[in-house]
Amino acid sequence: MKFVSTSKELDPIKVLFIGFSFGFSLLINVWIFYRITGGLFNPALTWGMVLVGGMPWVKGIIMFIAQIIGGIVAAAGADAVLPGKLDVSCGLAEGVSRGRGLMLECLLTAELMLAVLFLAVEKHRATPFAPLVIGFTIAILHFIAVPFTGASLNPARAFGPAVVEGTFNNKHWVFWLGPLMGTTFAAGFYMILKALNYRTLNPSQDQIYDSSLQGGSADALLHDRHDPDRENMTLGGQRLASVSDTGSPIIDTQRPVV
């Protein structure tokens, strides 16, 4: 089952199957491993985490290499278990130029990186649900990109099958440069927003609805609750740097988070 098709051959059921398969498999595995490794399986996302200071360079390099090896091992395992010839390589569909493929991989991986940064790295009430949202993000991005590039969004995803199938060609670089560019842009955008203290633009986002306050006055329904446990929140053995004006802890991006 090839992961690329032309628009004439596009089967919506196939695209939905691929998108939900990737999305739910990532959702489950991120939820399993995010307390151990941060739930990262993508070298491009690892690169973005290093850029924002969420991971030490040495750890980032080790994880980057491990993820590439993991992609090869996973592809070899699929080839050994599944009947027939493995045919899951990413590639550019007919009519999709290198430039278009590059930008598509770049923009969609940037969207994925932003989901990780604002849902998993930034600590707030929605953080426990980050794997769920990230999994659905992957599914939606696959719906968009599968017909055109195979929706790599991950150098390890493209490299592993290419090694096992021997399908390297002069377009393979698109699936490295595109995702790495995307996470670089997303990391830069994130750091700019952090420098501008973006939380002050909409400070009530992490407040709690409580109709029991002041007779149910509409203006009093949003409020902060003091939770002493949140003041001592840690991640990966590191205490969170501070608590925002809304009571939402802010991660110290100068310390490792995964």
Can you give the pLDDT at residue 34? 82
pLDDT mean across residues, the chain: 81
The C-alpha R_g of the chain, in whole angstroms, comes to 20
Can you give the pLDDT at residue 39? 85
Does residue 174 contact residue 105 with C-beta atoms inside 8 Å? Answer: yes
Can you give the pLDDT at residue 210? 45
Structure tokens at 234: 């840690």
Cα separation, 100 vs 144, in Å, equals: 13
Residues 6+ apart with CB under 8 A from 233: 123, 239, 240, 249
Can you give the pLDDT at residue 195? 92
Can you give the pLDDT at residue 207? 65
Can you give the pLDDT at residue 181? 98
Does residue 246 contact residue 224 with C-beta atoms inside 8 Å? Answer: yes
7-23 tens-digit pLDDT: 446 688 999 999 999 99
Better-scored residue on pLDDT, 126 or 247: 126
Q: What's the pTM value of the predicted model, to 2 decimals?
A: 0.75
Can you give the pLDDT at residue 86? 85
Share of the chain above pLDDT 70, in %: 76
Domain boundaries, the chain: 7-195
Can you give the pLDDT at residue 205? 74
84-98 tens-digit pLDDT: 888 888 999 999 999
Residue 253 has pLDDT above 80, yes or no: no
Cα separation, 108 vs 185, in Å, equals: 11
CA 37 to chain centroid: 14
Counted residue by residue, the chain has a size of 258
Can you give the pLDDT at residue 6? 42
Q: What is the CATH code for 7-195?
A: 1.20.1080.10
